[in-house]
Structure formats: structure tokens, C-alpha cells
């Protein structure tokens, strides 16, 4: 519901109704800040939380040590150590438990609500915002933000509403409006590019293996002399590659890939820890172990599916009806290289624009990471993806939203008191 008057005074106005904004507003209110307002541009606050993790919401990751946690942030890394030292994974788990949401740990470290439903997380944040007296106005995109110095701020919305507030928390996520407001108040913003995306490959033969999941695949991405290495689980798609290892790789290489229009060279070892010499040795041994068997029916690496094995043979032009005893030496070498040292041309990002995260935002050097207050504009605080911080997949992006939001709320309460 919108206010019946065109101007109103608040102690805190939060611009952005996402995870960081709600965490900041709730914590500030629970710390004693009265008269808190969240302004959300869309009609649905916390929409990103609702659809995350396929509707399950990967709340955080069971990475408990701040020293290890920061390694999962291509942008942010060491500066975030200050924030995580004050509010880390264990603190987030405890916060949600105290607010009625228990989290379960999966084998890969990801943590989800016990109900396996993101609605539980959304309802929790909405309920405690309401219980703490926080007002939420939707369809209230902010047009301008003016600092009045010690007198606070004037917030003007596009729907004509105007608010006055002692403190402001900017938590607009990756939306350009937040960068514009930050720049208007004198802040440097690193331009944003997509992060956490799949890769399109110029490899038509892979499309026949769409849907295959392979574990412990090693990849090395080369972009104009810069090299990025990653290993883990991948998913073969109709257009190229996806899966946790690919998303992590593209996260760290996001800016380099963007600078080269998403063109690069990807070397893949489909066999993980097997090196070229050992693969050559194993393949050569099949001349004597299975001389009469056909290449198409007897494969040396049984963890590779038969269809994938046949696709590899087709890639290098080998007839699957050939007997192992008749395999030429040069083809043996090509087969070994195709398995553990194949080069593929990256032809772009995944075609569906599925990335949820951006690399870029307000320069961290301009923010006091102990309380998330601006170093240039007193009374202005930042939290969440608006900052030049982004994590890899697995709950890390939500964790920095909880951490920076909580710290901002705490800092705002302390400054008002």
C-alpha cells in the first residue's frame, strides 16, 4: 500500500527490495531503528530469492572459514575478509535458525531450507520485516537521491512520491538505476558485465551428447594469453557446456571473456586426472588385451558413456567397427589427445542469457566494509550485488548479500543511536 501523502519522514529508506535490502532493513529495525521503509521498483519484492536454485533457494554454502570463503569471489576476495570476519556462514545459518528457517547441507556444501522451498525464505524475510515495523512500498522506482549533509536525504520516486530520510541503504542489485544513484553522489562504479554463464562451443559433435553429466573434467581457458583453469562437474548441452565447473570458470574469466566478445580457446581433459602419457599407455595396451574387440564395443574408460565414446571416435574420424589390433599408431595418438587434450573454440555465451549475477558495481575502496557506509557520503550505506562483488555458484552470492546487509543494518543502527 502506498502512503496517502506525497512526502514522509523516515529514519531509514532502503532502495531495493532484494535479499540484501531486506536483511539490512530487518537488522536495522531489530537493532532499534524505528521508521524504516523499503522501496522496491517492481511489483514483487524478493523475486530473485523466489526463483533461485530452481525454486529451492541455495541460501549459503557450508564454507565456514572466512579465509576459505573469500576464495570463492572473483571480485571482492580479500576486501571481503573484513565483512566475513564479522558475519560469516555460521552467523547466517544461526540468523535464519533464530528466524524460523532451518538449513540442510548437501554433499557439495550447498545449503537449502529444510522445506526445499524458496517460499520459506521469502516468507521469513517478509514476516520479520513486517513484525519489525518495516514498511514495503512496491512499484516505487527511485528517480533521484539527494544528500542534504547532516540533514539526511531526499528520495524522489518516479511515481511522484517523495521521502526524507536520515539514512539511506542502496541495495538495488545489478540494476543500472543503483549505479546511477551511486554515481550521482560521487561514487566510482566499475562497469558491469555478465558473470556465471554457460559457454557456446564450435563443436557440433557435442550436441549428440546433450544431457550428459561428467565429473572431474579439467578445463583450461585461454583468452588472449590469459589462462584460467577449473575442474569439476560439467553438463553437455545442445549449444556447448554448462554445469558447476563451467559456471565457476566463467565467473573468474568474466571480464576477460567480455573484453574479447566471448571468443577464446578451451582445452578440455575429459578424463580428469589422467595425463596424456598414461592415456596413450592405456589405449596402446588394448591392442594386446582386446585385439579382436571392436573399438565401438570395447572402451578403455568405462566411466565414459558408450554414446560419448562413439562421439569421440566420430570426432576424430575413426570407424567404430575397427578392431583394436588394427588401430594405426597415428590414430591412437589422435584418440589420446581427443580424450585428454582437446581444443575447442568458444563462440559465445549460452544462448538463453541465464546468468543471474553481474561482475561490477560500486568500487569497494569507497566503502567502509566494517559497517558498509560510504567513505564519500555520510549516512549512505551499500549492500549486496550493487557492490563490485560477485561469487561463484553454490550459495556464495546470497552469502555476501546476507553479510553486507546485516553489517549495513548494524552500522545504520549504531550511527542513528
pLDDT tens for each residue of the chain, 417 residues long: 444 444 589 999 999 999 999 999 999 999 999 999 999 999 999 999 999 988 999 999 999 999 999 999 999 988 999 999 999 999 999 999 999 999 999 999 999 999 999 999 999 999 999 999 999 999 999 999 999 999 999 999 999 999 999 999 999 998 999 999 999 999 999 999 999 899 999 998 888 899 999 999 999 999 988 999 999 999 999 999 999 999 999 999 999 999 999 999 999 999 998 999 999 999 999 989 999 999 999 999 999 999 999 999 998 999 999 999 999 999 999 999 999 999 999 999 986 544 568 899 999 999 999 999 999 999 999 999 999 999 999 999 999 999 999 999 999 999 998
pLDDT of residue 2: 44
What are the domain boundaries of the chain?
7-194+356-416, 197-355
pTM, 2 dp: 0.89
92-113 CB burial, b ≥16 within 10 A, e <16 = bbebbeeeebebeeeeeebbbb
381 vs 168: CA distance, rounded Å: 6
Question: Which cell numbers in the block locate residue 136?
Answer: 514495503
Domain spanning 7-194+356-416: which CATH class is it, in words?
alpha beta
121 vs 76: CA distance, rounded Å: 25
Going by their DSSP bridges, the two strands 153-157 and 142-147 should be labelled as antiparallel
338 vs 279: CA distance, rounded Å: 10
pLDDT of residue 350: 83
* Residue in the structure block whose three cell numbers are 519522514: 9
Do residues 299 and 251 make contact, with C-beta atoms less than 8 angstroms apart? no
Do residues 165 and 153 make contact, with C-beta atoms less than 8 angstroms apart? yes
Q: Which residues contact 241 (CB under 8 A, 6 or more apart)?
A: 198, 199, 201, 206, 234, 235
How many residues does the structure list for the chain? 417
In sequence order, the β-bridge partners of residue 105 are 111
pLDDT of residue 359: 92
Torsion of CA 161, 166, 171, 177, to 10 degrees: 50
pLDDT of residue 355: 52
Amino acid at each position: 500500500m502506498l502512503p496517502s501523502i506525497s512526502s514522509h519522514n523516515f529514519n531509514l529508506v532502503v532502495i531495493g527490495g532484494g535479499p540484501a535490502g531486506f536483511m539490512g532493513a530487518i537488522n536495522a529495525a531489530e537493532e532499534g531503528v524505528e521508521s524504516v521503509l523499503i522501496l522496491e521498483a517492481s511489483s514483487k519484492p524478493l523475486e530473485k530469492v523466489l526463483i533461485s536454485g530452481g525454486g529451492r533457494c541455495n541460501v549459503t554454502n557450508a564454507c565456514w572459514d572466512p579465509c576459505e570463503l573469500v576464495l570463492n569471489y572473483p571480485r571482492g576476495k580479500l576486501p571481503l575478509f573484513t565483512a566475513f570476519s564479522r558475519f560469516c556462514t555460521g552467523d547466517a545459518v544461526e540468523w535464519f535458525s533464530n528466524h524460523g528457517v532451518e538449513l540442510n547441507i548437501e554433499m557439495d556444501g550447498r545449503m537449502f531450507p529444510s522445506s526445499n522451498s524458496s517460499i520459506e525464505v521469502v516468507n521469513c524475510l517478509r514476516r520479520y520485516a513486517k513484525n519489525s515495523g518495516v514498511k514495503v512500498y512496491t512499484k516505487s522506482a527511485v528517480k533521484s537521491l539527494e544528500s542534504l549533509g547532516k540533514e539526511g536525504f531526499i528520495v524522489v520516486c518516479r511515481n511522484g512520491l517523495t521521502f526524507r530520510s536520515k539514512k539511506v541503504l542502496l541495495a538495488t542489485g545489478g540494476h543500472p538505476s543503483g549505479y546511477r544513484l551511486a554515481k550521482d553522489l560521487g561514487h566510482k562504479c566499475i562497469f558491469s558485465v555478465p558473470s556465471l554463464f554457460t559457454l557456446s562451443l564450435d563443436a557440433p559433435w557435442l550436441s549428440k551428447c546433450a544431457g550428459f553429466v561428467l565429473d572431474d573434467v579439467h578445463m583450461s581457458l585461454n583468452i588472449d594469453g590469459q589462462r584460467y583453469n577449473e575442474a569439476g562437474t560439467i553438463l553437455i548441452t545442445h549449444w556447448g557446456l554448462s554445469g558447476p565447473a563451467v559456471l565457476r570458470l566463467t565467473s573468474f574469466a568474466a571480464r576477460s571473456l567480455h573484453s574479447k566478445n566471448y571468443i577464446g580457446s578451451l582445452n578440455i581433459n575429459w578424463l580428469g586426472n589422467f595425463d596424456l602419457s598414461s592415456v596413450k599407455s592405456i589405449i596402446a595396451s588394448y591392442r594386446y588385451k582386446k585385439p579382436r574387440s571392436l573399438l565401438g564395443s570395447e572402451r578403455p574408460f568405462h566411466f565414459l558413456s558408450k554414446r560419448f565414446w562413439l562421439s569421440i571416435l566420430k570426432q576424430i574420424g575413426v570407424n567404430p567397427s575397427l578392431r583394436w589390433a588394427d588401430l594405426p599408431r597415428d590414430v591412437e595418438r589422435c584418440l589420446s589427445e581427443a580424450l585428454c587434450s582437446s581444443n575447442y573454440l568458444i563462440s559465445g555465451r549460452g544462448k538463453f542469457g541465464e546468468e543471474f549475477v553481474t561482475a561490477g558495481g560500486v568500487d569497494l575502496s569507497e566503502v567502509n566494509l566494517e559497517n558498509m557506509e560510504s567513505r564519500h557520503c555520510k549516512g549512505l550505506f551499500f549492500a549486496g550485488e550493487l557492490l563490485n562483488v560477485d561469487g561463484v555458484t553454490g550459495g556464495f552470492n546470497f552469502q555476501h548479500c546476507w553479510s553486507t546487509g546485516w553489517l549495513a543494518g548494524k552500522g545504520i543502527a549504531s550511527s542513528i543511536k
